[in-house]
Structure 1
């Protein structure tokens, strides 16, 4: 359904992720030896009829152990996107040694006459999730707000997750207001779906049922938080 190509490298087709409700497609741009990537194009294949009410949100990461980071989307009206890759450290790591990771990726159009920044990327993993346009555009809006924040670079950066960056729910809500709202709505909907099965004739639910839901919810959240993607907010 999708494909990607890094400048000067072969075209790579997407692979479907079985039994997935989050990232349904992945593309791995890799090589037997490190290469310098300056631009990456991601696009919907020409023979694919993409549903107009959905969008394919695009994510990047450097290894299977890292977290995907959102960078943009594809749709029937926007079947392709070009991501400009820059690396802050131009030293090439020796084989087997960890590199400094992917530096900057932005979605701006290429500036005429600008030379691509050389660097070394041995593997980039692209994840694509098919979501409603409302969800995709909410993520785009949140990304724009992050970029517009004080001390924020105009470019997007793929970096290792800093676990100390968000220390409490208030910081989460301030940094990611849209995602926090979506998370709260899905938790409430999950509780509602569970508790409606225990309504009595007066429309009340025993508090014990709520306690049971909460304990089960926490256990499932620890095992696989992706189940929240299956909960609709409406």
Structure 2
């Protein structure tokens, strides 16, 4: 039902079940993590009125709530370094994950990403109590037309950088596919690191 990906690593689907409503991923070599994405795989939706709180465990800090997932918000990106990995923010232990096998070795530590399926009203109440530094539910979904326009504009600006001085972009201009591939790779890297914010800034 869930997948997660630490930036720069392979996708993880090795979810370990605790009970019917709790599961977790182990995150080895946790000190090297910066950003983490968690998402629904699209195979099994939440029951109506339910979602999942996302919890992060760092040795010595207990479980801290990162945010949430729902059918309307099937993925989320969280910045960990400086907020959860090294901060001294207070934490609350989520006892349902107490059976998670958490390693702490001299080489590195293994963190844990916990998922708890709960009623949406209960999830919203938990998120409302989070400090302002912790990720909160996203606001209204951006207008897809506006988002598409910004993506196309980003591509247009990227391609234009390769044809300046040659008469600019014209309907007759052919663009090599390797330029589109480079744009796509750059675009996806920016998305993984910081979401769609760079489109609003015109990066």
Normalising to structure 2: TM-score of the pair?
Answer: 0.50
TM-score of the aligned structures, taking structure 1 as reference length: 0.44
> Whose RCO is larger (CA < 8 A, sep 6+)?
2
